[in-house]
A and B are shown apart, each in its own frame.
Chain A
């Protein structure tokens, strides 16, 4: 299990990653990003929330990664 420390930031975004197939598309870039410690997408939620734990990345960085893989996301208020 990856430990999350106080200094790691948690980014929460809503997305259109709605199905298991969508999830398969996005898992490679997330799994292999050196600055992403932990991630998950809540497919059950109506906002298909992406949750990222990273010490350095910003919401804009995540938006960029998701967009370049054909999906949309934005910060969840």
Chain B
């Protein structure tokens, strides 16, 4: 009985992510989800109090998984090059193997529960990332700069390339494929930009 219930709940979550990506937050409804998951709306309301409760729960799940993935094998004591390589590897692997989750997370981040959900990520990975940056500056591997600038230089290029890859083409409509080689070459350019 309980196993069946858990399976049903997992299906609801999976369908909810798909619907969020397809219709956005505004276009998403409990009725649509119930229909898509093959359960009655009443059952859905037994699991979740309302739409916000459902989206918040999904967002917290995704944030937790993203944080765990990001920190896998990462140590804030790593030298800058090694640590960033790990981060790029972890982040690209996650995004490429969970495209629906990644897109749904973007939708949730811009929804009314977005701030609350994003906080889960910063709480989980923030301390390790801050420590990593602090060490890199102290070891003279990294120029001091505002956090937003650091983040943009460090991860902006990666996420842009991954977006081109998922779209199958770049801004110029040229076919594009992400690869280990592209990742490593780009990371070298990023490291150059971060040098003191």
The residues of A with any CB-CB pair to B shorter than 8 Å are: 10, 12, 40, 42, 44-47, 49, 51, 75-77
Contacts and interface: CB of A to CB of B under 8 A. Distances in A.
B41 A51 contact: no
B46 interface: yes
Contacts of B49: 40, 42, 51
A42 B46 CA distance: 13
**What interface size band does chain B fall in?**
10 to 19
Given A42-B30, A45-B29, A46-B31, A12 B42 contact: yes
21 contacts: A12-B41, A12-B42, A12-B45, A40-B49, A40-B50, A42-B30, A42-B50, A44-B29, A44-B50, A44-B51, A46-B31, A47-B31, A49-B41, A51-B50, A75-B42, A76-B40, A76-B41, A76-B42, A76-B45, A77-B40, A77-B41
A12 B48 CA distance: 11
Interface residues of B, dominant DSSP: helix
Contacts of A75: 42
A27 to B, nearest CB: 15
Interface of B: 29-31, 40-42, 45-46, 49-51
Residue of A40, A46, A49, A76 ringed by the most chain B CB atoms within 10 A: A49
B42 A45 contact: no
Given A12-B45, A77-B40, 20 more contacts: A10-B45, A12-B46, A40-B49, A42-B45, A42-B49, A42-B50, A42-B51, A44-B29, A44-B50, A44-B51, A45-B50, A46-B31, A47-B31, A49-B45, A51-B49, A51-B50, A76-B40, A76-B41, A76-B42, A76-B45
